[in-house]
Structure 1
Amino acid sequence: MAAIEVRSIAALPVERWRNGGGVTRTIASGASGASGASGESQWRISLAEVERNGPYSRFEGIDRISFVLRGAGVTLRDEHSAVTLKTFEAVEYDGNAQWHATLIDGPVTALNVMTSKGRYRASVRNIVGPLTVPSGCLVAVVALHGGCAWSDAAGEPLGAIEAGQFLIADSLDYAIRFLPTAPAVNEAVSPQPPVLVTIESASAHE
């Protein structure tokens, strides 16, 4: 049985970009718990703080999904196309392109998921109601603003995470159910719900 780990986002090491345009905090990376034979990660989940306009790193053979958690968004452009990373939306794009990032209205914080093209399939979505994840997936939950609880498929409570934490579990052998935590009575505005990431082998859909 794979363990479910809960950690603090603030405790993640900060990796400054070589171009000075932002920082990254890696939540998890590898390939089914380990790096590929080449020594390069086959998937990665990270938080990026984009502080200014500039080039995005190119990742050959990688599919990317970005989910802006804070800020107005980012527009990515290359020679042939443009992609807008919108707040609270999962946007898929090609990691192989030479993207240049333009902030829409100041710095942003984005959850980024990268997977090896053809090897893995990823999904990113808000936990706004009950969500059940089947066994066999790598699961991550990022609770930047609002927390959530989780249980087994029968509804037996297993744990919870709070704002400022994340959860990671690789290849669970049982289904898991997530439910957003109700806002506190004194909160005038409900916090942004946590974000669920799942990664599974592409062969699971063949």
Structure 2
Amino acid sequence: MGSEGAAGEPSVLRASARDVVPWRNGAGTTTVVAEGPPAEGGPTTEPAWRISIATIDRSAPFSEFAGVDRLLMTLSPAGLDLVIDGRRVRGEAFDVLPFAGESAVEAVDVRGTGLDLNLMTGRGAAVGTLVARHLDGELTLRSPGTPSTPSSWTVAVVVEGDVTSPTHGALALHDAVVIPSGGAVQLTGRAAVIALAVIEPTRAS
């Protein structure tokens, strides 16, 4: 599921349209929320960036992604415990944990089914930020760059509460609004939280 569209025109990617796919190592499942174009000079099958939501229902190792930088946001109220390269790290709800795709990462002491949102960026192709933004009112989101240089993206994923857009209507849980370079969209929320990712190139495209 890509994020193609007219330059500067936001689009909505619905959670109900996503397929569930196994992790690369087969230890869990995920759904792809949005992904960018292929990384310049890299394998055509690998996008410069990808956002996904993984289901974690047991203690298990994560897949390895060489050459990728990862940001993981815990979506479950119970939080998530990881061991990253031998160091135990605790992520409470909506915390963001960074690690390299080459790192040895394992979910531990999992006692129920939970979710996490992942932003993966190809090292040398793109850099990203990921934060939880509380929304109780109106918010205008803008993507950096200009429509003539479509290489930056802003992606907002509904992770809690009720969110609407004047141009796209009601957004269900885990629906995503994808804003290309130079675009903007207005959101209205009530006791809501969005996962806000901003992706920019590390070199001229």
Query: What is residue 179 of structure 2 aligned with on the other side?
Result: 169
**Change beyond 3 A, Cα 1:124–1:180:** farther
Q: Is the 8 A contact 2:39 2:125 kept in 1?
A: no
**Change beyond 3 A, Cα 1:139–1:78:** closer
**What is the CA-CA distance between 1:135 and the residue it aligns to?**
3.0
Query: What is residue 4 of structure 2 aligned with on the other side?
Result: none
Deviations 1:16-39, CA, capped at 9 Å, x for gaps:
236554211001223xx3454312
What letter matches 2:76 in structure 1? R
Count residues with an aligned counterpart.
186
What letter matches 2:195 in structure 1? V
Mapping 1:1-206, distance limit 5 Å: 1-17=7-23, 20-30=26-36, 33-36=37-40, 37-39=42-44, 40-129=46-135, 130=139, 132-136=141-145, 137-149=152-164, 158-164=167-173, 165-171=175-181, 173-174=182-183, 176=184, 178-182=186-190, 190=191, 192-203=192-203
**What is the CA-CA distance between 1:125 and the residue it aligns to?**
1.9
Q: Is the 8 A contact 1:147 1:160 kept in 2?
A: no
Deviations 1:124-169, CA, capped at 9 Å, x for gaps:
122325364343231211113324356xxxxxx6445422322123
Q: TM-score, normalised by structure 1?
A: 0.76
**What is the CA-CA distance between 1:123 and the residue it aligns to?**
1.4
Q: How far apart, in 2, do the equivalents of 1:90 and 1:79 lie?
A: 17
Higher strand share: 2
Q: CA RMSD in A?
A: 2.6
Q: Is the 8 A contact 2:77 2:92 kept in 1?
A: no
Q: Is the 8 A contact 2:59 2:110 kept in 1?
A: no
Q: Is the 8 A contact 2:125 2:202 kept in 1?
A: yes
Structure 2 runs not aligned, ≥5 long: 1-6, 146-151
What letter matches 1:101 in structure 2? A
What letter matches 1:87 in structure 2? A
The percentage of counterpart residues that share the same residue type is 26
**What is the CA-CA distance between 1:180 and the residue it aligns to?**
4.0
What letter matches 1:124 in structure 2? L
Q: TM-score, normalised by structure 2?
A: 0.76
Q: How far apart, in 2, do the equivalents of 1:149 and 1:123 lie?
A: 23
What letter matches 1:38 in structure 2? P
Q: Is the 8 A contact 1:62 1:96 kept in 2?
A: yes
**What is the CA-CA distance between 1:91 and the residue it aligns to?**
1.8
What letter matches 1:200 in structure 2? E
